Amino acid sequence: MVMFRDLNDLKLIKTADYLLDTENNLALIKTIKLLTKSSKRFDYYLPIIKKFAEFVQDIPLKRTKAFKQEISFLERGLQRSTRTLLLCLKYFFPDKTDFESISDSDALWIYAAFTAALFLDIGKLIAKYTLLLYDKNHQLIDEWNFFSVSMINHGYYYKINYIKENKDNLKYSSTPILAGKILDSVTDTFLKNDCLNWIASDKKVLESWIDILSGKKDRLPMTSFMSMIPFAEIDIIEKYRINMPICVDNPNGELFLQWLRREIENGKIVIGEKNAKVIISNGKILISTILFKEFAELHQNCESPEVVKNQFINILQLYQIPISELDQRYRAFGGLSGLNDSSKRYRAVGGISTTQENQKNPPQSFLQGDSSLIFLIKKPPTLTSAKNLINSY
């Protein structure tokens, strides 16, 4: 009985052509080909997609249980990289329908953004998974070494085990190494192993590429090609979130998110000024809880400001965005000075810190988030030329 269960846990090691031969994957690859247009440039994309497919196989990407839908590393990587290309085209080249006529310098940035979007999750394999290789007779061979890039020719089946320990630091540090190994494994005659060398040929491109793969989104200028990657990730999660019944559980949080976006886009909520209700500084964002009160007053049918805030936090957790609550006395831009930490006691509840203070006149309360929250509430700036990107560096 145990043997039968173990055999059912084994997954066949597949070639790239087999893995990519699904309706969704083929549609995404077709879109990538249409966007890159030039057959010469597409030749730099397809071999990498195939190597990525062989690396991640059918391994499921473990995410929040709220969506009740399992998605693989392969499908998410292709979705995110395709969406990144579409956003780059929309915001940097709005007068074009593809990347055929862009400069070689811009083509390099686009390729770097595409590959970074494709590889963004792969460090999770080392941090969260152990894969065991088996032969045709279902006999255990060995544990797979992820740095060998492909399981093909190393076994016939594989089995997934999950690591319970938190190794997130390993995830971020190993992602650019694994990405470099996959790029360097392409031995196509035309490319001559130039994929990684092409990215490394420009120090600014290489630095940005490594930053995003290492989880350093806060170092990305909002006017960067690379900044399209977190926007693409948010777009994908948002699609799942809106289409799933789970969104009904937090209607006020959903309405507040859309309201906040509109108010910021229309300039009614100003970001970054001293004493502002939304402050962005050094990759952090502070959102005043006064906004929840203002929202509740404008929407008579919604519940209390506290309910709106809690439902908004629930929405952020679906995006895996870390958030904390703090009381704030700020005297300088950025809102980080004037904190009296000795008067605070923090009680961790599901990863959210709740401030408890006994004061007659408590200071203004804020939600604090990182760059992920910034990308969630702000649209990327519309640019007519990638020249603005180059100048930002």
Contact 178, 119 (CB under 8 A): yes
Residue 359 — pLDDT band, cuts 50, 70, 90? very low
d(CA 137, CA 382): 57
pTM of the model: 0.80
Helical ranges in 275-386 per DSSP H: 290-298, 305-318, 371-377
What local confidence, expressed as pLDDT, does residue 337 receive? 39
Q: Which two tokens stand for residue 255?
A: 């309405």
CATH architecture of 2-215: Orthogonal Bundle (1.10)
What element of type H or E holds 142?
Answer: strand 140-143
- Res. 212: pLDDT tops 80: yes
User: Which residue is it, tokens 């006691």?
Assistant: 345
Mean pLDDT of 62-69: 55
Residue 250 — pLDDT band, cuts 50, 70, 90? confident
Q: Where in the chain is the domain with CATH 1.10.3210.40?
A: 2-215
d(CA 386, CA 87): 13
What local confidence, expressed as pLDDT, does residue 353 receive? 40
- Res. 209: pLDDT tops 80: yes
Mean pLDDT of 8-15: 90
**DSSP state at residue 103:** -
Sign of CA dihedral 262, 323, 276, 234: negative
d(CA 220, CA 375): 11
- Res. 110: pLDDT tops 90: yes
d(CA 221, CA 223): 5
d(CA 40, CA 316): 41
Maximum distance among all Cα pairs of the chain, rounded to whole angstroms: 74
Mean pLDDT of 260-282: 84
Q: Which residue has the higher pLDDT, 372 or 19?
A: 19
What local confidence, expressed as pLDDT, does residue 388 receive? 40
Q: Which residue has the higher pLDDT, 79 or 326?
A: 79
CA distances from 197 to 112, 183, 389 (A): 11, 9, 22
Mean pLDDT of 192-204: 82
Q: Which residue has the higher pLDDT, 324 or 356?
A: 324
Average pLDDT of the chain is: 80
Residue 168 — pLDDT band, cuts 50, 70, 90? confident
